[in-house]
Amino acid sequence: MTIKAYGAHAADKPLQSIDIERRPPGPQDVQIDIAYCGVCHSDLHTVRSEWGGTLYPCVPGHEIVGHVSAVGSGVTGFKLGDTVGVGCLVGSCQHCAACDEGLEQYCENGFVGTYNGPTADAPGHTLGGYSQRIVVDEKFVLKIRHPEAQLAAVAPLLCAGITTYSPLRHWKVGPGSKVGVVGIGGLGHMGVKLAHAMGAHVVAFTTSDSKRQAALDLGANEVVVSRNADEMKAHVNSFDFILNTVAASHSLDAFTGLLKRDGTLVLVGVPEHPHPSPSVANLIFKRRAIAGSLIGGIAETQEMLDFCAEKGIVSDIEMIPAQKIDEAYDRMVKGDVKYRFVIDNASLGR
Ligand code: NAP
Ligand code: ZN
């Protein structure tokens, strides 16, 4: 069926209203009427082809929440009316070592992204959540247990939430850990909330002096304005773990130098241009590590949603109609959002 979406026809074109097709639900499919979709910096990188390889028309959006409006005959986990979410993944091979461990994001045969991924559906690549409706294999649909009134603020958990939750768990952050979160944007503000909820001592690193109080309100124990060398120096050799969410190229040495012996700096931000090569001396003298982490698997995403529902954690959002998306992207590039834009998908029909 034909539905309304918001997307771009080229890297240098603004997003606009377009009509797209969704397949009728197959036996294993869940059809979801999308209520809200979060706006991730990856949407912007993709739609403007900053990473290359973008297929057009491009309909971004992988922080999807809504309600089930139809299910296939073989679907067992969902029924009409259920409140559900879809994150960054809508498919994977289901038989490699990674999929067997529930790590579909590391699928050895390539996962299918919610947008810009391979599919038999028209137009030959997946189209994301800036749309009225989506049809997804039930294995990639998440249950949402937050109160309905919080639904819009739950949307960003589907990418920003899981992308920060997964490395915090993998590197065993908890009471007694000193954790840094670099870049207080969509991902970073969730990183602060989640690390705080896990019991860590959290230090927020921001380039924006104006976010100093706001970061404390999110749950940070301390805030460091990273442009201020004296403030940085006070934390040398002290962190177990630092999560770097920054969406732009910068020197990593200022942060590796803050790690303790055996501490790890995990990169989740994927800038358009590479970071300068980090100092080897900074790493070898204290056996420090730089690592990366990609979103999270389906089971862990459900675990994160349930953890957040239990602790009352949602994202801090600014709701926009789809028609304001280009303006929102420009503000996001400037760091001018507290802390996640969320599209009200009802605006797509207007
Ligand atoms: P965002 O909301 O734009 O936040 C990025 C933050 O980085 C900014 O708010 C800003 O925080 C800081 N920053 C400092 N200097 C910057 C600069 N020159 N340009 C842009 N930001 C700067 O973005 P996001 O949605 O959190 O995404 C962050 C990055 O993670 C993106 O590259 C995105 O593609 C990537 N990502 C990766 C994964 C993964 O699986 N690894 C998943 C989702 C997103 P301050 O004002 O506090 O300095
Ligand atoms: Zn994302």
332-350 average pLDDT score: 95
Q: Output the pLDDT for position 240.
A: 98
Token pair 């705080």 is at which residue?
196
The pLDDT tens digits of the residues spanning 118-163 come to 999 999 999 999 999 999 999 999 999 999 999 999 999 999 999 9
Expressed in angstroms and rounded, the spacing between residue 208 Cα and the centre of ligand 2 is: 22
- pLDDT over 90 at 102, yes or no: yes
The pLDDT tens digits of the residues spanning 236-284 come to 999 999 999 999 999 999 999 999 999 999 999 999 999 999 999 999 9
Percent of the chain with pLDDT over 70: 100
- pLDDT over 90 at 13, yes or no: yes
Residues lining ligand 1, Cβ inside 6 A: 40-42, 45, 159-160, 163, 183-188, 206-208, 211, 245-248, 268-271, 293-295, 332, 335
Scanning 92-249, the segments in alpha helix (DSSP H) are 97-100, 151-154, 160-170, 186-197, 212-218, 229-233
What values do phi and psi take at 132, rounded to 5?
Answer: -75, -25
Instruction: Transcribe 118-159 into DSSP letters.
Output: B-SSTTSB---SSBSEEEEEGGG-EE--S-GGGHHHHGGGGT
Q: Which domains does the chain have, with CATH numbers?
A: 2-159+316-349 (3.90.180.10), 161-292 (3.40.50.720)
Cis-peptide, bond into residue 25, ω within 30° of zero = no
- pLDDT over 90 at 169, yes or no: yes
The pLDDT tens digits of the residues spanning 191-208 come to 999 999 999 999 999 998
Expressed in angstroms and rounded, the spacing between residue 268 Cα and the centre of ligand 1 is: 9
Instruction: Transcribe 283-306 into DSSP letters.
Output: HHTTT-EEEE--S--HHHHHHHHH
d(CA 81, CA 301): 21
